Amino acid sequence: MLSLKNQFIFAPIKTGYSNGNGMVTDRNIAFYDRRSAYVGAVTPEPFYLDQGLRELPTQMGIDNDDKIEGLEQLVKVIHQYDTKAIAHINHPGRMANPKIPGNYFLSSTDQPCENGGKTPKRMDKDDINNVVELYKDGVLRAQKAGYDIIELQLGHGYLLAQFLSPLVNDRSDEFGGTFENRIKFPLEVVQTVVDTVNLPVIVRISGDEMIPEGIKLPEMIKLSEILEEKGVQAIHVSAGTVCSTPPWFFQHMFIKKGKTWELAKKIKQKINIPVIYVGRINTPEDIEKVQKEYKAEYIAVGRALVADADFIGKYLSEVKGPFRPCLACVEGCLGGVKSGKGLQCLVNPEVGREKESLAKADHSKKYAVVGGGLAGMQAAVTLRKRGHKVDLFEKDALGGQFNLAPLTPHKKSMGKLVPYFKEVLNYYKVNVVFEEAGKSDLISKYDGVILATGSKPAVPYIPGLNNFYWAEILLPENLPQNKKVLIIGGGLIGVDIATALIPRNNKVIIVKRTVDFGGDMEMIAKNLSLKMMKEKGSVFSDHTHIKNIEGRTVYAERDGVNIIFDDIDIIVVSTSMTSYNPLEKELNEHVPVYTIGDAKQVGNAQDAIRDGYETARII
């Protein structure tokens, strides 16, 4: 039995906060300390079993006894809240990071992941025996470090799933072919672990890999029944594969919520041990649904606890305040880890910086924040939390340009963020003034002024460019139908606009001076958006310079060759943005001024929120 204080489990999420040698760091400790109080169990990031099997250069390890002391410290932090610690043990197989020097690659096959990666060695019997020993040694260290539960990864396209998968496993020996053969090695690992430690064992699986000929539910039901017989205490049901279906693996906003819940329900109908539900459970309504409709015994929550460390505490009414929403965008969490900065979050600027507490101000002051976009709203809230008085000036609508973000087909979840900020502004009693602030409104009335006036489109000079749209074409009243649209600029904004135009039967041509369309986009969103555009016949024209426009005819040059785009109904310009900051020079000599967000330097939503937070934290 798992015997947790409640049904909530913090799911394993890669943090990338270690120091390159696999040790637990103060940053790891602070991150999990902040998230352990209200859940029944915490699963830290996957521990690597060997220095040559890392997914991240800064991943925590369990490969050597020198790691035990740090792992013990992590357990003690989790245990102080009467919360149990789960050690998640995983062998990546061919999905070890190919960019890390010294990594090696093993699999059921000698074929690499079709989406990139090193060619693995097809494992022989000695390799299999060595891997079993790695698991045995790893779980013994986990037990010695004080972990309460072991979780084994048999899903998500990692090594044991590479044996389970009829698509990946192309062997003709005793470990390939039939279902009974494909499960032999994974079951050997599971049985060894069950026999080695005196701890409950959870097995995590992909109920469906969401690809043709991959792992499917009927075999996972059979496997779950066998795992129950082998002494496994719970089945944790996810979906997807890190190789072939990353949107399902990451539970990205582009996919429909709830598939994993259905898979878990069907598996639970066939077994007696508990099933752990997971997969974008990021609102109180989601929790209610999986409890009432799916009868979930255990609920694993991942990124919702990254976005809001008190998500479960608020659900249990032990913490007050609005729920900070997870947008399922993976821009901060996956993006931060991939960049080498460690886990971050678009909506939560404190992620990865939990050691830097937000201190109350020594003396309460009065500040004006000019501009109610993301940076301005975050700055206003942070100042109020520190004890300052704040007037937030906004001439139009709170949220600024981010109000356009959820108007594209697959980014509806982005629509949660501005309502959250409105709620939290009200919660902390920020005085919002819906007026355009001028010099006379700000001088001699405030101890400081934060300028968050944002950015404006940088429209290139093109002869004949007189009538055009920017991103406001996404507004329902502007969105065309059955038109031929030329988009000048192929970055994030241009690609997002294209994906909104396509479902309304518009013919899209998108041009860019360079090559990489959507180059500044989060990778999963970029790949899915470009795939959609190509499937719907969008025309991509790279290395293209627009020379002039005459009526519905656009003259351009591509790689030194003159080209023409005919019969254009609508032109959209999405080339770049430029900072808009009309007040700084007027105010500088009269009051302390702090410029933040796009008004200081054009960036993305995460940059804006983080800059607003950091500036308000230190002034």
Question: Are 8-339 and 471-575 the same fold in CATH?
Answer: no
Per residue in 269-289, pLDDT tens?
999 999 999 999 999 999 999
| pLDDT single digits (tens) 51-107 | 999 999 999 999 999 999 999 999 999 999 999 999 999 999 999 999 999 999 999
Number of residues in the chain? 619
Residues 366-456+591-618, CATH architecture: 3-Layer(aba) Sandwich (3.40)
Taking alpha carbons only, the member of 281, 451, 302 closest to residue 372 is 451
Question: 338 falls in which pLDDT band (50, 70, 90)?
Answer: confident
* 385 HSE (CA, 13 A, CB side): 18
| pLDDT tens digit sequence for 478-515 | 999 999 999 999 999 999 999 999 999 999 999 999 99
What pLDDT, on a 0 to 100 scale, did the predictor assign at position 116?
A: 87
* Domain extent listing, the chain: 8-339, 366-456+591-618, 471-575
Distance CA 27, CA 138 (A): 23
| Long-range contacts of residues 526-531, Cβ cutoff 8 Å, at least 24 apart | 526/495, 528/247, 528/252, 528/254, 528/410, 529/410, 529/495, 529/496, 529/498, 529/499, 530/495
The answer, yes or no, to whether residue 112 has pLDDT greater than 90, is: yes
CATH superfamily for domain 8-339: Aldolase class I (3.20.20.70)
Neighbours of 388 (CB within 10 A): 20
Assess whether pLDDT exceeds 90 at residue 122: yes
Mean pLDDT of 551-559: 97
Model pLDDT, residue 146: 98
Burial class (CB in 10 A: 0-12, 13-18, 19+), 180: exposed
Structure tokens at 370: 């000019």
The pLDDT score that the predictor gives to residue 1 is 78
pLDDT of residue 115: 86
Region 466-478: what's the mean pLDDT? 97
Mean pLDDT of 573-589: 95
pLDDT digits (tens, 9 = 90+) for 214-271: 999 999 999 999 999 999 999 999 999 999 999 999 999 999 999 999 999 999 999 9
Higher-pLDDT residue of 334, 417: 417
| DSSP notation for 121-140 | EEP-HHHHHHHHHHHHHHHH
What predicted TM-score, i.e. pTM, was given to this entire model?
Answer: 0.96
Q: Does CATH number 3.50.50.60 belong to domain 471-575?
A: yes
- At 335 the pLDDT is 87
Residue ranges of alpha helices (H) inside 156-302 are 159-164, 179-182, 184-196, 217-229, 246-249, 259-268, 284-292
Predicted pLDDT at 520 = 86
Between strands 448-451 and 366-370, the pairing is: parallel
Q: How far apart are CA 8 and CA 252, in angstroms?
A: 21
Provide mean pLDDT across the span 554-579.
Answer: 97
